[in-house]
Amino acid sequence: MPPGAGRAARFPRRILVAIAIAVVGCVIAWWSQLGTGPGSAADPLVDLSGKAQSWAILTVAITLQALPFLVLGVLVSAAIATVAPVELIRRITPRSSFLTVPLTTTAAIALPGCECSSVPVARSLMSRGISPAAALSFMLAAPSLNPVVIVSTAVAFYDLPAMAWARFGASFVAVLLAGWLWLAVGDNSGLKKRIAGVSDENEAGCNCAHPVAEAGSSRRVAFVHAALADLTQAGGFLVIGAMIAAMVKVFVPITWFVTVGKEPLMAIALMAVLAILLALCSEADAFVAASFTAVSPTAQLVFLVVGPVIDIKLISMQSGTFGAAFTRRFVAVVAVCAIVSAMFVGFVVFGRL
């Protein structure tokens, strides 16, 4: 069997589940719009007074709005994964860990990526001699400060231009705080041993399967495989997130959101939890956040800042790569920094929580 054939033959079960759910959702949305048999708008199994049709329209609208930015982000991510300038990063990384955090965070703006690739890229950087401080800062900053992410946010919040700048500022501060706080309270002692024990074949349970161009192989082929793997996974999560967002928008009474919106801390907690559970790609999450119009802009900002650095997909990947003990402490530090930063910037920019 040729090298890597076994790896290519396996397809992570969680991706298959995400794809299956996304396909079922798309079929339901299509049938409710265009079908004429049982279960369609013309012959509903349960009379939802047009709510099923509204849900389908919102699901398709959110997905189509976000898809171009998702594709662009996937292409950028695949380029970084297959042609990563590791030597340049090592050369410009200062010896001081304290200075490494802001430098790597800033460098990530020019070398963006999405969540799908951030964990395996961080593992790869550390395995090639990059310090944990630099690799972890890059892992948090690449999906958060991605130029594609900021542009998509500006498009999604076209009626609130300040949101794009607020997201950039809050994300930058959150990554700096998390990096410096982790230097103070974190424990990287077991990382090298753990990373050395994670085989390239397993890659931390990463669903993305970013291939690295081997000797004699084509970088173009590696790029195509990486892009398709990212798009398959991230696209599935996007559709699922759009389905859930549309469901909440249509079926949850607006009075409930109004009630939650009156309690700023409750709204912030709700949006933070949703960001973690929906596990959206950062290039597409702004369109979902913009659909939650009943909560404050600060609560929406919390959703946008928390999602790219913490979600169930990232937690699973980090646990597989760096170990459960590391992940528990790291996620707690990042969560606190992300929420506090978003609340502070939101209050400054929008004048309220």
pLDDT at 215: 42
Separation CA 261–CA 146 (nearest Å) = 29
pLDDT, position 211 = 46
Per-block average pLDDT, block size 10, for the chain (353 residues)?
Answer: 46 66 72 60 57 76 70 68 63 74 82 67 71 82 86 89 93 92 78 59 44 54 75 68 72 72 84 81 82 86 91 74 82 92 92 81
Start-to-end Cα distance in the chain: 58
Looking at residue 202, its pLDDT comes to 42
38 — phi, psi (to 5°)? -55, 135
Structure tokens at 211: 């291939």
Residues 6 or more apart whose Cβ sits within 8 Å of residue 271: 289, 292, 295, 299, 300, 302, 303, 306
| pLDDT at residue 48, as a whole number | 56
What are the Cα distances from residue 350, in Å, to 59, 133, 271, 323?
29, 32, 17, 39
Assigned token pair, 239: 């559709």
Amino acid letter, residue 1? M
According to the model, what pLDDT value does residue 15 have? 65
pLDDT of residue 201: 40
pLDDT of residue 312: 74
CA atoms within 13 A on the CB side of 262: 5
Residue 305 confidence (pLDDT): 94
CA 299 to chain centre: 17
CA distance 51 to 218: 50
